[in-house]
Structure 1
Amino acid sequence: MRIRVTVPITAAALALFATSVPAKAPDHPLIKRYPSATVRLYEKLEYERFRLPIGIPEKAGEEPPTLTVTGDRTRHFYEIRGVSTLKLYENYRKALEQAGMDVLFECAHEACGEARQGNQLGDWIAINGKVFNWHGKPYYLAAKRDVEGKSTYVAVYMGGYKDTAAIQQVVIQEVPLVNDLLDINPDVLGPAAAAADSPAITEEQRAKDHPLLSRYPGASLRSSEKLDYETISLPMGPITGKRNAYEYDKLEVTGDLMRHTYQLPQVSTLKAYENYKAALDKAGFELVVDCQLKQCGNADQAETLGGLLAISGDVYNYYRKPYYLVGKRDAQSGPTYAAVFIGGYNDETMIQQNIVQTVAAQTDLIGVNADELHKELEEAGKALIYGIYFDTDKSEVKAESAPALEAIAELLGKHPGLKLYVVGHTDDTGSVTHNQSLSSARAKAVVQQLTQQYGIAPARLSPAGVGPHAPQASNHNDAGRTLNRRVELVKRVN
């Protein structure tokens, strides 16, 4: 019996067909399995880079000559009892010829080199990197066909052990890269080009993602955490050194932290990387770290790098074919950092995503303007004001607060339907009762200035004081206490 092939009228729909056999894993649409074959292993990855062997290694242990191709890759490991490798080879070769595929390289038995050299051809395309005992009387075929400017590649290794033969099969179909699959919301950070919508992401899923950046369509959320005003060390490059003595540059950043771990089946780390890179670019991020594959270090170093981003502290097996990105975008309240580690295992990709929205260390030096205030109110529902000044333990608004008050008045003038809570905050020094009273008095003083000096209707402003109960930072140091002494504008619904 041989593999049957049907060449359709339209070359773009090239397909090979054979007797259908039930299976736990599907065959590739291009090539149906040999009758009676069972699937031992199956793997499918979208948009993967692969080095296809087109010759034998000069020496055992060396790499064979390869052709680097990129596209959707599907691999199968089939097992067939009672069929010789010769019969398998003859059927595969005839089927590929009838489909109009050109043979790039083929070898049989001793022509595939000494035992170790022949094994390497099979190992190279095998899903788990080994043909194990199935290397007797080997045959190898690599073929290609171009259809409408795109190439399809097929490589097949056939080897036997006792009365059983095994087929290691890989099919790679060149496809254009689709790198607009992530939903990026640059309005969270300010004006930027809008990203394409991703209808594959449900509203329920999107609500669990970061407001800035969605998951990759089809990804499942393994874990997430949100921490207000946390300090995290971001690796700013690859890991060097040996285990237990690793070295790496790092950046300590403090701000609101959201971390996500996503699992993505049948998509290569390369395709996930290209989409994250494109999404960050659309949001106006500057890429400050970009390491790819071996640039991220050896296996142990890549695993350690991913673990620094992972919520659990470990990426386990998901460190293969790694990519690591750190993007930075400046905003009025401080820079935002997005750090993403992408690693794979078999046909799954795992994504470790950390996004930190920081506050500036010297926030009182930041100029306030109406447009920035409106943007922050729309994005976060509140805007922090550090340009309103009071003497220690006093509630009278000082004269140097005029620029901030003018910006608030301009904001309310530009948006006549806008209503605000004006909320006073203090640090945690002194008694709670006194700080509560002081923050309320300061909020009332700000409202009084805006209504009496700038003509804002009193009904649009509601003062409130919360004392030390909603800190922006730690009260254990001067920098944190400075951030906690502030006035907030909070958008009112009614």
Structure 2
Amino acid sequence: MIRIASLILILLAGPLAAQDLTLPAGARQISDRTSPLDSYDLPTGPFADGSLPVRQIEGRVERLTWRVQSGSSTTLQLLAPLREQIVAQGYEVLFECEARSCGGFDFRFGTEVVPTPDMYVAIQDYRFLSATRGDDVLSLLVSRNPPSGYIQMIRVTPGSAEAPPPLVIEETVNQAGGLTSALEQNGHVILDDLHFRTGEITLGDGPFASLTEIADYLTANPGTRLALVGHTDDTGALDANISVSTGRAQAVRARLIEAHGVAADRLEARGIGYLAPLTSNASPEGRELNRRVEAVLLVN
């Protein structure tokens, strides 16, 4: 059986009530920026006439982001199940929009977004929702940069700097979705939790959940091999970038062999520098996304 993880987010809103928000299968929490006392400008309408209407809320502010393997899913397909869940839990949708009706560029840069690489927003491909339940407010922002999707949730509990009941994240086993499901469906997947020092080829200490999943997948599927392919942004000469991307792919291969017991003959490592970008290198966000290592499925 292929082990595929999904995350279930449990938001406890009071001593007698709990709400369960189930994220897409394979979601990985990227960041948690929680302030015990802060303010948040909750958008209440689209950007128009040179301004963005907001309601400023003070209290405990939780800023959370996730990355998912979205495949061919649209932003609406990412948002709709989350919207249904918060409505079922008693939230009233205050405002909802897609990129163009939100105000495009102006809305994107007029509202609060967790900095990259923890959150990515494509100017023409995002959706936003704000909702209230009593004094509590939350917003959801989703976007895509295929094959990845991004989810941001900001929740404010006003009136007190004391922590509400804790946010609990549980890992479960699911039969569909996740990193290895995306690998089978698309033939390749980004190993998006890996960390390298800037300009270096040494892989961080980890542990990295993506490598554990890859090793488990190879164990469960003995007729498969993988090519690990390194990618860079377009800073510098091509030869230098190919060297760096190859070195990083080789470092990932070595970690799978040495730490996870994968047979060496089931893994290849290559680097192609900046020749296959995910997006434009014209912005820091784009360059960050283009620096990556992918696993490519090879079936004997």
TM-score band (shorter)?
A: 0.3 to 0.5
Q: Which has the higher contact order (CA 8 A, sep 6+)?
A: 2
Structure with larger Rg:
1
TM-score normalised by length of structure 1 = 0.29
Pick the structure with more strand per residue.
2
TM-score normalised by length of structure 2 = 0.45
